[in-house]
Amino acid sequence: EEALELVSEYTKNKNLIKHMLAVEVAMVAYSEKLGDDTEKFSLCGILHDFDYEKMGDEHPSKWGQDLLREKGVDEEIINAIAVHGERDKPEMRETKLAKTLFAVDELTGFIVACSLVRPDGIESLDVDSIKKKMKKKDFAKSISREDIINGAEELGVTPEEHIETVLDAMKGIREELEL
């Protein structure tokens, strides 16, 4: 609840909040799959972009990291958030938490994009449909397919397994995501 209050305080864009919710549910799915700390993964997912509107290009920001420290957020979460945009520096993602955040961040956005062009939204979306859309360079071109593939690799899963895990998680909160 405290994390959601922080997000609400600094984020007014409804779509950005939905993105953080999608990342959170994907993180939780992976925590269960990995047998890891669900609360830690959940907090990391919901908080990962809380400073984006305020800080823009400086996101993830030192300001955001300092505020999270003041709020008593676990240092592992802060570190995972700090490196989640480091595409070309996988060595910076030292923990499963950091690897998972990187892996699910772009994929959740791609799944949203796929859902928005379907008459029934996310309802009948499947792994094969997502993989076909990934091959279309002109579709959702701002989303890095390379990050999605590299993220799966860092987690030690196939791209198909990765897509299925995140898609199933997002389908579980389709109403909140308005998909």
pLDDT the model gives residue 86: 76
String of DSSP letters for 28-60: HHHHHHHT--HHHHHHHHHHTTTTHHHHGGG-S
pTM beyond 0.85, yes or no: yes
pLDDT the model gives residue 91: 81
pLDDT the model gives residue 105: 96
Q: What is the pLDDT along the chain (179 residues), one digit of tens a residue?
A: 889 999 999 999 999 999 999 999 999 999 999 999 999 999 999 999 999 998 988 888 899 999 999 999 999 999 999 998 777 787 888 999 999 999 999 999 999 999 999 999 999 999 999 999 999 999 999 999 999 999 999 999 999 999 999 999 999 999 999 99
Q: Which residues contact 163 (CB under 8 A, 6 or more apart)?
A: 107, 111, 127, 130, 131, 148
